[in-house]
Protein backbone atom coordinates (compact mmCIF):
# COMPACT_ATOMS: atom_id res chain seq x y z
CA UNK A 1 0.00 0.00 0.00
CA UNK A 2 2.85 2.36 0.87
CA UNK A 3 4.46 1.59 -2.46
CA UNK A 4 1.25 2.35 -4.39
CA UNK A 5 0.74 5.58 -2.47
CA UNK A 6 4.28 6.64 -3.34
CA UNK A 7 3.69 5.87 -7.02
CA UNK A 8 0.38 7.77 -6.99
CA UNK A 9 2.02 10.76 -5.31
CA UNK A 10 4.80 10.72 -7.90
CA UNK A 11 2.25 10.63 -10.73
CA UNK A 12 0.40 13.59 -9.23
CA UNK A 13 3.64 15.59 -8.91
CA UNK A 14 4.68 14.77 -12.48
CA UNK A 15 1.24 15.64 -13.89
CA UNK A 16 1.24 18.87 -11.91
CA UNK A 17 4.66 19.77 -13.28
CA UNK A 18 3.54 19.00 -16.83
CA UNK A 19 0.37 21.07 -16.39
CA UNK A 20 2.35 24.00 -14.98
CA UNK A 21 4.86 23.83 -17.81
CA UNK A 22 2.06 23.71 -20.41
CA UNK A 23 0.05 26.63 -19.08
CA UNK A 24 3.09 28.76 -18.34
CA UNK A 25 4.26 28.46 -21.92
CA UNK A 26 0.90 29.49 -23.37
CA UNK A 27 0.83 33.01 -24.80
CA UNK A 28 -0.20 35.70 -22.37
CA UNK A 29 -3.37 37.70 -23.10
CA UNK A 30 -2.67 40.51 -25.56
CA UNK A 31 -2.37 44.01 -24.21
CA UNK A 32 -4.62 46.63 -25.76
CA UNK A 33 -3.71 49.97 -27.29
CA UNK A 34 -6.52 52.40 -28.13
CA UNK A 35 -5.79 55.30 -30.49
CA UNK A 36 -8.31 58.11 -30.97
CA UNK A 37 -7.93 59.48 -34.47
CA UNK A 38 -9.53 61.27 -37.40
CA UNK A 39 -12.14 60.17 -39.91
CA UNK A 40 -9.91 60.81 -42.93
CA UNK A 41 -7.39 58.17 -41.89
CA UNK A 42 -10.20 55.70 -41.27
CA UNK A 43 -12.33 56.37 -44.35
CA UNK A 44 -9.43 55.95 -46.75
CA UNK A 45 -8.61 52.52 -45.32
CA UNK A 46 -5.13 53.50 -44.17
CA UNK A 47 -5.71 52.49 -40.56
CA UNK A 48 -6.30 48.88 -41.63
CA UNK A 49 -2.84 48.82 -43.20
CA UNK A 50 -1.27 50.48 -40.17
CA UNK A 51 -2.96 48.08 -37.76
CA UNK A 52 -1.85 45.00 -39.71
CA UNK A 53 1.81 45.99 -39.94
CA UNK A 54 2.06 47.26 -36.36
CA UNK A 55 0.54 44.09 -34.91
CA UNK A 56 2.78 42.00 -37.14
CA UNK A 57 5.78 43.70 -35.55
CA UNK A 58 4.28 43.61 -32.05
CA UNK A 59 2.09 40.46 -31.89
CA UNK A 60 1.49 40.92 -28.15
CA UNK A 61 -0.37 44.20 -28.75
CA UNK A 62 -3.86 44.57 -30.16
CA UNK A 63 -4.41 48.10 -31.49
CA UNK A 64 -7.88 49.60 -31.90
CA UNK A 65 -8.75 52.95 -33.47
CA UNK A 66 -11.60 55.25 -32.47
CA UNK A 67 -12.38 57.35 -35.54
CA UNK A 68 -13.83 60.81 -34.82
CA UNK A 69 -13.37 64.44 -35.68
CA UNK A 70 -10.23 65.85 -34.07
CA UNK A 71 -12.19 67.71 -31.38
CA UNK A 72 -13.90 64.53 -30.21
CA UNK A 73 -10.69 62.52 -30.59
CA UNK A 74 -8.94 64.89 -28.19
CA UNK A 75 -11.81 64.70 -25.70
CA UNK A 76 -11.68 60.90 -25.85
CA UNK A 77 -7.97 60.96 -24.99
CA UNK A 78 -8.53 63.50 -22.20
CA UNK A 79 -11.08 61.20 -20.57
CA UNK A 80 -8.60 58.35 -20.66
CA UNK A 81 -10.82 56.39 -23.04
CA UNK A 82 -7.89 56.23 -25.46
CA UNK A 83 -4.19 55.74 -24.72
CA UNK A 84 -2.97 58.22 -27.31
CA UNK A 85 -4.14 60.16 -30.35
CA UNK A 86 -3.35 60.74 -34.02
CA UNK A 87 -4.86 64.05 -35.13
CA UNK A 88 -4.33 67.15 -37.29
CA UNK A 89 -4.96 70.41 -35.44
CA UNK A 90 -1.74 71.95 -34.12
CA UNK A 91 -3.42 74.62 -31.97
CA UNK A 92 -5.50 72.10 -30.03
CA UNK A 93 -2.59 69.68 -29.85
CA UNK A 94 -0.52 72.37 -28.11
CA UNK A 95 -3.33 72.99 -25.62
CA UNK A 96 -3.49 69.23 -24.95
CA UNK A 97 0.23 69.32 -24.12
CA UNK A 98 0.01 72.51 -22.05
CA UNK A 99 -2.89 71.15 -20.02
CA UNK A 100 -0.69 68.22 -19.04
CA UNK A 101 -2.58 65.49 -20.89
CA UNK A 102 -0.01 64.63 -23.54
CA UNK A 103 3.68 63.98 -24.08
CA UNK A 104 6.13 63.13 -26.86
CA UNK A 105 4.35 64.73 -29.82
CA UNK A 106 5.72 63.80 -33.23
CA UNK A 107 4.76 65.16 -36.64
CA UNK A 108 4.42 62.13 -38.89
CA UNK A 109 2.64 62.95 -42.15
CA UNK A 110 0.96 65.63 -44.21
CA UNK A 111 -1.28 66.25 -47.17
CA UNK A 112 -3.31 69.22 -48.32
CA UNK A 113 -6.85 70.49 -48.17
CA UNK A 114 -8.48 71.46 -51.45
CA UNK A 115 -11.71 73.23 -52.29
CA UNK A 116 -13.97 71.09 -54.44
CA UNK A 117 -17.20 71.91 -56.20
CA UNK A 118 -19.37 71.27 -59.24
CA UNK A 119 -17.70 71.26 -62.64
CA UNK A 120 -19.73 74.31 -63.68
CA UNK A 121 -18.06 76.35 -60.89
CA UNK A 122 -21.06 78.71 -60.43
CA UNK A 123 -19.11 81.08 -58.16
CA UNK A 124 -16.28 81.28 -60.71
CA UNK A 125 -13.53 80.61 -58.16
CA UNK A 126 -11.28 78.24 -60.11
CA UNK A 127 -7.65 79.28 -59.85
CA UNK A 128 -8.20 81.72 -56.98
CA UNK A 129 -6.43 81.54 -53.62
CA UNK A 130 -8.43 79.84 -50.85
CA UNK A 131 -9.04 83.21 -49.20
CA UNK A 132 -10.40 84.83 -52.35
CA UNK A 133 -12.39 81.71 -53.20
CA UNK A 134 -14.14 81.77 -49.82
CA UNK A 135 -15.02 85.44 -50.26
CA UNK A 136 -16.45 84.89 -53.73
CA UNK A 137 -18.43 81.80 -52.68
CA UNK A 138 -20.02 83.87 -49.91
CA UNK A 139 -20.89 86.66 -52.35
CA UNK A 140 -22.35 84.19 -54.81
CA UNK A 141 -24.22 82.35 -52.07
CA UNK A 142 -25.91 85.54 -50.92
CA UNK A 143 -27.13 86.01 -54.51
CA UNK A 144 -28.47 82.43 -54.61
CA UNK A 145 -25.71 81.50 -57.05
CA UNK A 146 -23.76 78.99 -54.98
CA UNK A 147 -23.92 76.78 -51.89
CA UNK A 148 -21.37 75.68 -49.32
CA UNK A 149 -21.32 72.51 -47.20
CA UNK A 150 -19.31 72.57 -43.98
CA UNK A 151 -18.18 69.54 -41.97
CA UNK A 152 -19.65 71.29 -38.93
CA UNK A 153 -18.29 68.60 -36.61
CA UNK A 154 -15.41 70.30 -34.76
CA UNK A 155 -12.92 68.21 -36.73
CA UNK A 156 -9.47 69.31 -37.90
CA UNK A 157 -10.95 69.96 -41.34
CA UNK A 158 -13.71 72.05 -39.80
CA UNK A 159 -11.10 74.00 -37.80
CA UNK A 160 -9.18 74.74 -41.02
CA UNK A 161 -12.37 75.92 -42.72
CA UNK A 162 -13.25 78.24 -39.82
CA UNK A 163 -9.71 79.58 -39.83
CA UNK A 164 -9.96 80.54 -43.51
CA UNK A 165 -13.38 82.14 -43.00
CA UNK A 166 -11.95 84.14 -40.10
CA UNK A 167 -8.95 85.30 -42.14
CA UNK A 168 -11.38 86.33 -44.87
CA UNK A 169 -13.20 88.48 -42.31
CA UNK A 170 -16.19 86.28 -41.55
CA UNK A 171 -17.38 84.34 -38.50
CA UNK A 172 -18.52 80.79 -39.27
CA UNK A 173 -20.95 81.02 -36.33
CA UNK A 174 -22.84 83.74 -38.20
CA UNK A 175 -22.50 82.08 -41.60
CA UNK A 176 -24.25 78.94 -40.41
CA UNK A 177 -27.46 80.99 -40.16
CA UNK A 178 -27.40 81.65 -43.91
CA UNK A 179 -29.47 79.62 -46.39
CA UNK A 180 -26.50 78.95 -48.69
CA UNK A 181 -24.29 77.61 -45.83
CA UNK A 182 -25.13 74.02 -44.89
CA UNK A 183 -23.62 71.78 -42.21
CA UNK A 184 -23.18 68.04 -42.60
CA UNK A 185 -22.22 67.42 -38.97
CA UNK A 186 -20.46 64.29 -40.11
CA UNK A 187 -17.25 62.80 -41.50
CA UNK A 188 -15.50 63.80 -44.70
CA UNK A 189 -17.04 61.19 -46.99
CA UNK A 190 -20.59 62.06 -45.87
CA UNK A 191 -19.81 65.77 -46.31
CA UNK A 192 -18.48 65.20 -49.83
CA UNK A 193 -21.57 63.21 -50.79
CA UNK A 194 -23.85 65.92 -49.42
CA UNK A 195 -21.97 68.62 -51.35
CA UNK A 196 -22.19 66.49 -54.48
CA UNK A 197 -25.95 66.07 -54.10
CA UNK A 198 -26.45 69.79 -53.49
CA UNK A 199 -24.07 70.95 -56.25
CA UNK A 200 -22.15 72.79 -53.54
CA UNK A 201 -18.57 73.64 -52.66
CA UNK A 202 -16.70 72.26 -49.66
CA UNK A 203 -13.18 71.90 -48.29
CA UNK A 204 -11.69 68.42 -47.97
CA UNK A 205 -8.40 66.70 -47.35
CA UNK A 206 -6.99 65.55 -50.67
CA UNK A 207 -6.74 61.90 -49.62
CA UNK A 208 -10.43 61.43 -48.84
CA UNK A 209 -11.42 63.34 -51.97
CA UNK A 210 -9.29 61.20 -54.28
CA UNK A 211 -10.58 58.00 -52.71
CA UNK A 212 -14.22 59.01 -53.16
CA UNK A 213 -13.72 60.47 -56.63
CA UNK A 214 -11.94 57.39 -57.93
CA UNK A 215 -14.67 55.16 -56.50
CA UNK A 216 -17.18 57.35 -58.35
CA UNK A 217 -18.95 58.22 -55.10
CA UNK A 218 -18.87 61.89 -56.16
CA UNK A 219 -18.50 64.02 -59.30
CA UNK A 220 -17.11 67.10 -57.56
CA UNK A 221 -13.93 68.48 -59.07
CA UNK A 222 -10.94 70.22 -57.50
CA UNK A 223 -11.59 73.93 -57.94
CA UNK A 224 -8.86 75.43 -55.73
CA UNK A 225 -5.59 73.51 -55.69
CA UNK A 226 -3.39 72.63 -52.72
CA UNK A 227 -0.94 75.21 -51.38
CA UNK A 228 0.65 76.68 -48.28
CA UNK A 229 -2.66 77.98 -46.92
CA UNK A 230 -4.29 74.55 -47.19
CA UNK A 231 -1.51 72.44 -45.67
CA UNK A 232 -2.77 69.60 -43.45
CA UNK A 233 -0.32 68.13 -40.90
CA UNK A 234 -0.82 64.93 -38.86
CA UNK A 235 0.78 64.26 -35.47
CA UNK A 236 0.81 61.58 -32.78
CA UNK A 237 0.76 62.27 -29.03
CA UNK A 238 0.94 59.80 -26.13
CA UNK A 239 -1.14 60.33 -23.00
CA UNK A 240 0.92 61.61 -20.07
CA UNK A 241 1.30 58.82 -17.46
CA UNK A 242 1.92 61.49 -14.81
CA UNK A 243 -1.50 63.08 -15.36
CA UNK A 244 -4.08 61.64 -12.96
CA UNK A 245 -6.95 61.63 -15.43
CA UNK A 246 -5.02 59.52 -17.97
CA UNK A 247 -2.51 57.77 -15.71
CA UNK A 248 -3.91 54.33 -16.53
CA UNK A 249 -3.22 54.73 -20.24
CA UNK A 250 -0.94 52.18 -21.88
CA UNK A 251 2.12 54.38 -22.16
CA UNK A 252 4.58 51.64 -23.14
CA UNK A 253 2.44 50.46 -26.05
CA UNK A 254 1.82 54.08 -27.09
CA UNK A 255 5.55 54.70 -27.31
CA UNK A 256 6.01 51.55 -29.38
CA UNK A 257 3.34 52.84 -31.75
CA UNK A 258 4.91 56.30 -32.01
CA UNK A 259 8.35 54.87 -32.68
CA UNK A 260 6.86 52.56 -35.28
CA UNK A 261 5.14 55.30 -37.31
CA UNK A 262 8.29 57.45 -37.36
CA UNK A 263 10.54 54.53 -38.28
CA UNK A 264 11.58 53.84 -41.88
CA UNK A 265 9.13 50.95 -41.89
CA UNK A 266 6.23 53.06 -40.67
CA UNK A 267 7.03 55.98 -42.95
CA UNK A 268 7.09 53.61 -45.92
CA UNK A 269 3.46 52.72 -45.18
CA UNK A 270 2.48 56.38 -45.58
CA UNK A 271 4.66 56.73 -48.66
CA UNK A 272 3.17 53.74 -50.47
CA UNK A 273 -0.48 54.10 -49.52
CA UNK A 274 -2.36 55.36 -52.57
CA UNK A 275 0.55 55.61 -54.98
CA UNK A 276 -0.62 52.80 -57.24
CA UNK A 277 -4.23 53.97 -57.39
CA UNK A 278 -3.78 57.74 -57.38
CA UNK A 279 -0.21 58.35 -58.49
CA UNK A 280 0.68 59.92 -55.14
CA UNK A 281 0.51 58.98 -51.45
CA UNK A 282 -2.73 60.01 -49.76
CA UNK A 283 -0.74 60.89 -46.63
CA UNK A 284 2.85 61.86 -47.41
CA UNK A 285 5.53 60.85 -44.84
CA UNK A 286 6.97 63.86 -43.02
CA UNK A 287 9.90 62.19 -41.24
CA UNK A 288 11.15 60.89 -44.57
CA UNK A 289 10.81 64.36 -46.10
CA UNK A 290 12.68 65.95 -43.20
CA UNK A 291 15.54 63.44 -43.40
CA UNK A 292 15.95 63.88 -47.14
CA UNK A 293 15.65 67.66 -47.12
CA UNK A 294 14.34 67.28 -50.66
CA UNK A 295 11.85 70.16 -50.44
CA UNK A 296 13.12 72.92 -48.17
CA UNK A 297 10.14 75.18 -48.87
CA UNK A 298 7.58 72.53 -47.92
CA UNK A 299 9.53 71.63 -44.77
CA UNK A 300 9.46 75.30 -43.80
CA UNK A 301 5.69 75.46 -44.39
CA UNK A 302 5.17 72.48 -42.09
CA UNK A 303 7.40 73.91 -39.39
CA UNK A 304 5.62 77.25 -39.54
CA UNK A 305 2.22 75.62 -39.15
CA UNK A 306 2.87 72.63 -36.89
CA UNK A 307 5.95 73.43 -34.76
CA UNK A 308 5.92 75.27 -31.44
CA UNK A 309 8.84 77.61 -30.76
CA UNK A 310 10.86 75.84 -33.42
CA UNK A 311 10.19 72.27 -32.28
CA UNK A 312 7.46 69.68 -32.78
CA UNK A 313 7.46 69.01 -29.03
CA UNK A 314 8.98 71.46 -26.52
CA UNK A 315 11.31 69.89 -23.95
CA UNK A 316 8.88 70.27 -21.05
CA UNK A 317 6.38 67.99 -22.82
CA UNK A 318 8.76 65.10 -23.31
CA UNK A 319 8.83 62.05 -21.03
CA UNK A 320 10.99 58.95 -21.37
CA UNK A 321 11.42 59.84 -25.03
CA UNK A 322 14.91 58.43 -25.52
CA UNK A 323 15.84 58.24 -29.18
CA UNK A 324 12.66 59.99 -30.34
CA UNK A 325 14.12 63.45 -30.88
CATH of the domain at 149: 3.40.190.10
Cα–Cα dist 42/35, whole Å:
12
pLDDT at 14: 44
Contacts for 159 with CB less than 8 Å, ≥ 6 apart: 70, 71, 89, 91, 92
Is the same domain home to 280 and 184?
Answer: no
Is the same domain home to 225 and 161?
Answer: yes
Inform me whether the pLDDT recorded for 195 exceeds 50. Answer: yes
Residue 67 within any structural domain of the chain = yes
Cα–Cα dist 237/140, whole Å:
41
CB contact at 8 A, 155 and 71: yes
As to burial, measured by CB atoms within 10 angstroms (0-12 exposed, 13-18 middle, 19+ buried), residue 319 is: middle
By percentage, how much of the chain surpasses pLDDT 70? 92
Is the same domain home to 222 and 289?
Answer: no
pLDDT at 7: 53
Smallest CA-to-CA distance from 213 within 279, 151, 145, 127 is with 279
Is the same domain home to 136 and 161?
Answer: yes
Residue 296 within any structural domain of the chain = yes
Structural domain boundaries, residue 164: 112-229
Residue 290 within any structural domain of the chain = yes
pLDDT at 111: 93
pLDDT band at 226 (very low <50, low <70, confident <90, very high): confident
Residue 304 within any structural domain of the chain = yes
The neighbour count for residue 313, using CB atoms within 10 Å, is: 23
DSSP 3-state of 215: coil
Domain final residue pick, 160, 195, 229: 229
pLDDT band at 2 (very low <50, low <70, confident <90, very high): low
Is the same domain home to 122 and 212?
Answer: yes
pLDDT at 22: 43
pLDDT at 11: 52
Query: Domain tally for the chain?
Result: 2
Q: What is the mean pLDDT of residues 271-288?
A: 94
Residue 306 within any structural domain of the chain = yes
Angle between helices 264-272 and 46-57 (to 10 degrees): 160
pLDDT at 222: 96
Is the same domain home to 117 and 201?
Answer: yes
pLDDT at 156: 87
Inform me whether the pLDDT recorded for 191 exceeds 50. Answer: yes
Is the same domain home to 92 and 35?
Answer: yes
Cα–Cα dist 191/206, whole Å:
14
Instruction: Name the DSSP letter for residue 127.
Output: T
Residue 214 within any structural domain of the chain = yes
pLDDT at 27: 56
Inform me whether the pLDDT recorded for 291 exceeds 60. Answer: yes
User: Using one digit for the tens of pLDDT, what is the confidence trace for 8-48?
Assistant: 454 554 455 444 444 444 457 889 999 999 988 998 999 99
Is the same domain home to 125 and 267?
Answer: no
Residue 224 within any structural domain of the chain = yes
Inform me whether the pLDDT recorded for 322 exceeds 50. Answer: yes
Is the same domain home to 157 and 181?
Answer: yes
pLDDT at 154: 86
Is the same domain home to 37 and 103?
Answer: yes
Inform me whether the pLDDT recorded for 62 exceeds 50. Answer: yes
pLDDT at 25: 40
Inform me whether the pLDDT recorded for 276 exceeds 60. Answer: yes
pLDDT at 23: 44
Domain final residue pick, 229, 255, 280: 229
pTM: 0.85
Most confident of 40-44, 222-226, 296-300: 296-300
Residue 16 within any structural domain of the chain = no
The pLDDT mean for the chain works out to 91
Inform me whether the pLDDT recorded for 292 exceeds 80. Answer: yes
Inform me whether the pLDDT recorded for 187 exceeds 80. Answer: yes
Domain final residue pick, 174, 205, 229: 229
Is the same domain home to 126 and 214?
Answer: yes
CB contact at 8 A, 234 and 107: yes
Please give the residue that has the higher pLDDT: either 215 or 3.
215
Q: Which of 167-171, 197-201, 294-298 has the lowest mean pLDDT?
A: 167-171
Is the same domain home to 117 and 224?
Answer: yes
Amino acid sequence: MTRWLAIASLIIVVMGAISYAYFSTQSKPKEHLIVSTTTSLYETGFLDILKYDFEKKYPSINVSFISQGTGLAIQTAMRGDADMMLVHDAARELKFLKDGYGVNRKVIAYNFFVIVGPKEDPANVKGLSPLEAFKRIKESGEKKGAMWVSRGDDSGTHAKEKSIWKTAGFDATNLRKMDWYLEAGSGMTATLKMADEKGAYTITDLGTYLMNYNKKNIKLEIIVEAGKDTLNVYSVIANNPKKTEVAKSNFDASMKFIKFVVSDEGQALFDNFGKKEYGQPLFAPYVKLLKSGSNAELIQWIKQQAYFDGTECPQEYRYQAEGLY
